[in-house]
Structure 1
Amino acid sequence: MRAVFIATLLAASPALAQDALFDVQGYRIAHYRAPVHQAPPGVGRIAPEAAAHLRPGRDALFIDVLPAEGGHREADGRWRLAAPHDSIPGAHWFPEAGRGVLAPWIGDGFLRGVARLTRGRRDAMLILFCKADCWMGWNAARRLRAAGYRNVWWLAEGVDGWSDLNRPLSRVEPDSGVAP
């Protein structure tokens, strides 16, 4: 009887079955700031030095998924921020899109926003990032690969690696995923 109870509990809560770090689809759902050793399946890993040779918006679409710490999204889709965010110049910021479990308006807005920015091209080069030792860029890269994008790259070192190269950062505003 106890085995049936445990099996039922684990089936009802897949996160418990995986030490609450990953969901059944393989997305990291907790403790996002931790070492990440390899790119998600089907996703390439790009070094900061290589990414620095690309022109955002021309050679590749740079996508930042760092959360909006202390901020929130309004009903109209706009973000109210607690603090400004600096990122790789030319990057598009989709706050919260790197979480393992996404609110529907975050997930839908992320996919709509990427589709708008790529003009629907599934072969556009996409570079996903957050910070060093952060699973959110990894999750977002995995999510876009699962959505059918074929040229997805993960910048594991994120904005930290960019800064380590003495490359400038610039202020970015959140992309709500809604067409301007």
Structure 2
Amino acid sequence: MLLAFLLLALQAPADPALFDAATGYRTARYRAVVPAPPEGVTRIGVDEVRALHAKGAPLIDVTPAEGAIRDPASGHWRLAMPHDSLPGAHWFPEAGRGVPAAGIESWFVMGVARVTHGSKARPLVVFCLADCWMSWNAALRLHRAGYVDVRWFADGIDGWKEAGLPVKRVVPAR
């Protein structure tokens, strides 16, 4: 009975108020259970993240920078608090919002192009925190930008820490 309920819950239509009708991106209540990866994106776990990163796959962190301000002219961020992430991660705060602030989406896509050296075939690992729709949005955004091997680490920084792995202080990508 429980299995039947869970299957029905996963198939139930999403609350349309939480999603942009034109793009399909989640636009509100980002911290909630995410039932499946976006179309064209593969969900992976911590062991696959470690293996991919060891082979050179970029780690793309889209955790929001609460209280931070980005100067659109210079691209510099004034952070309200420091951020710890997976060692070697490239942090693109706010890039996972359903409707990013002006300039964020282009900064994100151009920044990812820089860290991939322009290769859209190179595997990418996108993450945020556990139960966070921002990484889901960002993974879909990169897939739509033409990246063909986008991997979504749904457990994010929380799952990394739960596995007993170290984090490192990062600053927003330039």
Tell me the residue number matched to 1:93.
91
Q: Does 1:73 align with 2:70?
A: yes
The CA distance in 1 between the partners of 2:161 and 2:101, in whole Å, is 31
Q: Does 1:23 align with 2:23?
A: no
Of 99, 104, 107, which aligns to 1:106?
A: 104
| CA drift at 1:49 | 2.2
Q: Which amino acid aligns with 1:142?
A: L
What is the CA deviation profile of residues 54-99 of structure 1, one whole-angstrom value per residue up to 9, with x for unaligned ones?
A: 336x421100001111111023110000100000000000000000
Q: Which amino acid aligns with 2:69?
A: H
Of 63, 74, 77, which aligns to 2:60?
A: 63
CA contact (8 A) 1:49 1:165 kept: no
Q: Which amino acid aligns with 2:143?
A: R
Tell me the residue number matched to 1:4.
none
The CA distance in 2 between the partners of 1:30 and 1:41, in whole Å, is 20
Query: Which structure has the larger Rg?
Result: 1
Q: Which amino acid aligns with 2:139?
A: A
The CA distance in 1 between the partners of 2:33 and 2:103, in whole Å, is 29
TM-score by length of 2: 0.87
CA contact (8 A) 1:124 1:151 kept: yes
| CA drift at 1:134 | 0.3
The CA distance in 1 between the partners of 2:52 and 2:83, in whole Å, is 22
| CA drift at 1:104 | 3.2
CA contact (8 A) 1:52 1:162 kept: no
Tell me the residue number matched to 1:5.
none
Tell me the residue number matched to 2:9.
none
Aligned residue pair count: 159
| CA drift at 1:51 | 1.1
The CA distance in 1 between the partners of 2:156 and 2:93, in whole Å, is 14
- Bigger CA drift: 29-38 or 102-111? 102-111
TM-score by length of 1: 0.84
Of 117, 121, 124, which aligns to 1:123?
A: 121
The CA distance in 2 between the partners of 1:97 and 1:170, in whole Å, is 20
What is the CA deviation profile of residues 101-131 of structure 1, one whole-angstrom value per residue up to 9, with x for unaligned ones?
A: 1123100100110111111101011000000
The CA distance in 2 between the partners of 1:123 and 1:19, in whole Å, is 33
| CA drift at 1:50 | 1.8
What is the RMSD computed on CA atoms of the aligned residues?
1.4
